[in-house]
Structure 1
Amino acid sequence: MNSAAGLEQPLPTLDVEIERLLPGGVGLAHAEGLTLFVSLAAPGDILRVQIDRLQGKVAFASVLEVITPSPVRVEPPCPYFGRCGGCDFQQLNYEAQLQAKVDIIRDCFHRIANMPDLPEIAIHQSPKQWQYRARAIWQFDPQTRHLGYFEAGSHRVCDVEVCAVLVPDLQNALEALRAQIRNDSFPEAVKHVEAVAGDEGVSVSPAWADFATKHVSRRIGDETYDFNANAFFQINQQLVELLVEEAIRNARGALAIDLYCGVGLFTVPLARCFERVVGVESNPIASRFAQMNLHNAQLRSAKVITARVGEWLNGQSLESEAVDLLLLDPPRAGAENSVIRGILAKHPRQVSYVSCDPATLARDLKKLLASGYSLDSVAAFDMFPQTHHVETVVRLTATA
């Protein structure tokens, strides 16, 4: 919006009512011919908002004032709320967080996957809504000496002393790292630090001084998994056992394939249910841990291949073998087109898709459902309380 002289004018403020929450966690509102996406809102809020960015008839806005709070709005307990880009659902009570996540999944499935009729989506709540996060990436700014998380929508580092969602062992590690900064012992070349807590101890990457990228382990159900800070493991240990049970359920058969298998979270229990299991993982560190975890469990019927999933699927020769179950747990970006093509070429009897992003899950489901698969079930897991993120497990069966 420019004046006749070409000078930029301040973008307007508006009073709006939030209709619902959308994928990405933003609130939806309409006013003065605009569709507004409002950060850190609650459904039912009446807000005074500042338009931060305007794209045609779409406006992105932030809250200036809560005129009338929604019945589900609560006071965020974190002093960094609104600056830190991490927890964008702290303004909602926990029941509202859970409902919003189910609604986000439904919205993505309706809008992206064109699925008008969905089964009921049960969401498994986290036993802990705080101090649940067993993995973190902390950003470091050598100019400001700040250590924490990126601020919302920027690469400025929000300096965080206490993070309310970290498990105590990771909070202690954060405090130890901050002490390094105060003592001028923090390496200037380090731009970020990855840390993960096991049942005992913390693994940190990169390693220096007393911080080691050591092996840690977690006991999940009847299985034990070794890993370190350079290999992904699910962050909410309270729900992992239920997640594994839902993804595998009562599957049995001759051959199972586990794509993006990581350190073998699903590969190990699958090897107890199938005559043969093939895990595929592109990260060589995670792949070595998966092999180690299978060896430690004395499971000889499974093997792990270090390769890009799409390249392996489309380059190896299992076409003549019937695949009873194909499980995939891709990163947030979902499965690449080559992976979907490879899955359809293998035509497994059942597919179990574990996803941390409902939008990319819906995109991939649309392709699978159009190519001979039917939806059996959808289950959600609140692995990430206080954020809009949600883990989803979808089970599919080949129809022909």
Structure 2
Amino acid sequence: MSTQENILKVRLEAPAHGGHTVARHEGRVIFVRHGIPGELVSIAVHDDGEKARFWRGDVVEVHEASEHRVTHFWPQADSLLAASRGVLPVGGAEFGHISLEAQREIKGQIFLEQMTRLGKIDATKHGFTGVVAPEGESADALGWRTRTAFVVDEKGRLAMSAFRSNDLVPIKEMPLAHPKINELELWDLPLAGISRIEVAVGSGDDAGVLVLFIEDGTVAGAAGRAAKRLPEGTSAAALTQVAGSASDGRGALQRLRGRTWLSESVAGHDYRITGEGFWQIHRLAPATLIERVMSQLAPSYGTRIADLYAGAGLFSAPLAKAVGDDGMLLSIEGAPGTSKDALKNLREFPQAIISQGRVEKTLSRELNTRKAKLDSIVLDPPRTGAGKAAVSAMVRSGAKKISYVSCDPASFARDTADLMSAGFRLEAVDVIDLYPHTHHMETVGLFVRH
């Protein structure tokens, strides 16, 4: 924790992207976490060198609380409680002290600010009406994470990191995680020799669970011993860091018990996701996003569609079915292991072309080889966004409609500016709260060529 000399009393102003609220002290901008706009608080300041462009801080005491402040559901993520104990709060639930309604209002303000500043447009004139919860969300919006990751500290304890810190916080619960993840009681396993644990659970009622142990190489057979202590019916695998990886460059995947993959069923399609392969995190996200994308693109029989950053084929499968045998579905994914999953998940569709590689190069190459043009595109890029090269490739593809799924408003805004400069207009935009109690949000925008 920061020393007493670094404690400032400030009035919090507007929210800022990244889970912060802006404060000012003697002309210096400070990005503050764990506050709410309008509050008068004391903050512990860090990153506060004289040459720093801005400082950062965490709320350690509230003098005038917002009406939207609530008791944090997770004590270890509560900044005020952590400060009273002289420790740092665990990351991953930085909005847990704010009512859900206010969280979504704040996220809407951030989305509008990013679109205005980086996208150069007023999103309210392009269909944005606010941040909404997915249909079927629980009243407390807990237990939604079907994928989560933990680290193991030097004492062999299950832990998570504090924000922007190397400090590890031992934990024995993760309230945002699916109940089946907490039921594993991973904190009671012998974890010496394991550096990281990734857990995935299927989103269905009969969901399977896969635990992936990443070994640090210091203790032989560490993952195997931990796996033996897991509840019956739980699958487990080990990932060891060796050359010649068979698992997306991260290591060799070894089955310990059960399977090395999970099955998912969404909107009538079955999917296989191997090991650490990408899948949407919120239990309601796959069905919610398929519905939005299919509604925006309205694919018809015989059309040609590309699914970029396609992962295991979440959107590829329903799109391939919709375009039929006379259409074309081009599914492009960069990660080799995940692309192999897409091959399995789309094997019933001869109209599906699965290609692994960088989107900006692979899209152009595949279309040039087939001398084809696209009718529409769906893309779900990483948090950094598509970028200018990928946007240029999409523009050259001939697509008239683009459904853009984004988990970051800043990169979405930047790509929006590039798409609009290239002749597209933002026809509609939905922002969905698929990351409750965090600052993240999911955007689905429809772009139509002029």
Q: What TM-score do you get using the length of structure 1 for normalisation?
A: 0.89
Aligned to 2:240: none
Equivalent residues of 2:112, 2:123 under 8 A apart: no
1:203 equivalent to 2:210? Answer: yes
Report how many aligned residue pairs link the two structures: 381
Q: Which residue identity lines up with residue 179 of structure 1 in the other structure?
A: D
State the 4+ residue runs in structure 1 displaced beyond 4 angstroms.
9-12
In structure 2, which of residues 128, 132, 144 is the aligned counterpart of residue 132 of structure 1? 144
Q: Deviation digits for residues 194-242 of structure 1, max 9, x if unmatched?
A: 1110132211223633452422222222222221332111111223212
Aligned to 2:252: none
Aligned to 1:193: 197
In structure 1, which of residues 21, 24, 47 is the aligned counterpart of residue 18 of structure 2? 24
Equivalent residues of 1:193, 1:204 under 8 A apart: yes
- SS of equivalent residue, structure 2 residue 367: coil
1:256 equivalent to 2:302? Answer: no
Which structure 2 residues correspond to residues 105-184 of structure 1 after superposition, within 5 A? 105-116=111-122, 118=124, 119=126, 120-126=128-134, 127-128=137-138, 129-141=141-153, 143-173=154-184, 175=185, 177-181=186-190
In 2: Cα distance, 1:279 partner to 1:41 partner: 42
Q: Which residue identity lines up with residue 43 of structure 1 in the other structure?
A: P
Q: Which residue identity lines up with residue 291 of structure 2 in the other structure?
A: E
Q: Which residue identity lines up with residue 396 of structure 2 in the other structure?
A: A
In 2: Cα distance, 1:56 partner to 1:242 partner: 42
Q: Deviation digits for residues 4-56 of structure 1, max 9, x if unmatched?
A: xxxxx975533222222110010112343222211111122111223223355
Q: Deviation digits for residues 72-129 of structure 1, max 9, x if unmatched?
A: 1111021211311111000100001111111111111111111135332343314031
Per-residue deviation, 1:156: 2.2
In 1: Cα distance, 2:131 partner to 2:59 partner: 29
Equivalent residues of 2:286, 2:314 under 8 A apart: no
Q: What TM-score do you get using the length of structure 2 for normalisation?
A: 0.80
- SS of equivalent residue, structure 2 residue 189: helix
Q: Which residue identity lines up with residue 311 of structure 2 in the other structure?
A: G
Q: Deviation digits for residues 271-317 of structure 1, max 9, x if unmatched?
A: 1222210101122221122122223xx32221211222222124333
Which structure 2 residues correspond to residues 1-400 of structure 1 after superposition, within 5 A? 11-54=5-48, 55=51, 58-81=54-77, 82=79, 83-116=89-122, 118=124, 119=126, 120-126=128-134, 127-128=137-138, 129-141=141-153, 143-173=154-184, 175=185, 177-181=186-190, 186-188=191-193, 190-198=194-202, 199=204, 200-206=207-213, 208=224, 209-210=227-228, 212-213=236-237, 214=259, 215-249=261-295, 250-252=298-300, 254-274=303-323, 275-295=327-347, 298-318=348-368, 320-399=371-450
Q: Once superposed, what is the RMSD of the aligned Cα atoms?
A: 2.0
In 2: Cα distance, 1:278 partner to 1:314 partner: 11
Equivalent residues of 1:147, 1:157 under 8 A apart: no
Moved more, 78-87 or 368-377: 78-87
Q: Which residue identity lines up with residue 283 of structure 1 in the other structure?
A: A
Q: Point out where structure 2 has 5 or more consecutive residues left out of the alignment.
A: 80-88, 214-222, 229-234, 238-258
Q: Deviation digits for residues 136-163 of structure 1, max 9, x if unmatched?
A: 111112x232322211111222111011
- SS of equivalent residue, structure 1 residue 243: helix
Q: Deviation digits for residues 158-178 of structure 1, max 9, x if unmatched?
A: 1110110111111123x1x32
Per the alignment, do residues 277 and 380 of structure 1 end up closer, same or farther by CA in structure 2, a change over 3 Å counting? Answer: same
In 2: Cα distance, 1:123 partner to 1:109 partner: 14
Equivalent residues of 1:239, 1:381 under 8 A apart: no
Q: Which residue identity lines up with residue 120 of structure 2 in the other structure?
A: N
- SS of equivalent residue, structure 2 residue 354: strand
Q: Point out where structure 1 has 5 or more consecutive residues left out of the alignment.
A: 1-8
Q: Which residue identity lines up with residue 381 of structure 1 in the other structure?
A: I
Q: Which residue identity lines up with residue 74 of structure 1 in the other structure?
A: V
Per-residue deviation, 1:320: 4.2
Per the alignment, do residues 146 and 179 of structure 1 end up closer, same or farther by CA in structure 2, a change over 3 Å counting? Answer: closer
Equivalent residues of 2:105, 2:130 under 8 A apart: no
Per-residue deviation, 1:187: 4.9
Equivalent residues of 2:112, 2:122 under 8 A apart: no
Q: Which residue identity lines up with residue 148 of structure 2 in the other structure?
A: A
- SS of equivalent residue, structure 1 residue 264: coil
- SS of equivalent residue, structure 1 residue 315: helix
Per the alignment, do residues 225 and 131 of structure 1 end up closer, same or farther by CA in structure 2, a change over 3 Å counting? Answer: same
Moved more, 300-309 or 85-94: 300-309
In 1: Cα distance, 2:36 partner to 2:122 partner: 26
Equivalent residues of 2:171, 2:187 under 8 A apart: no
In 2: Cα distance, 1:367 partner to 1:289 partner: 32
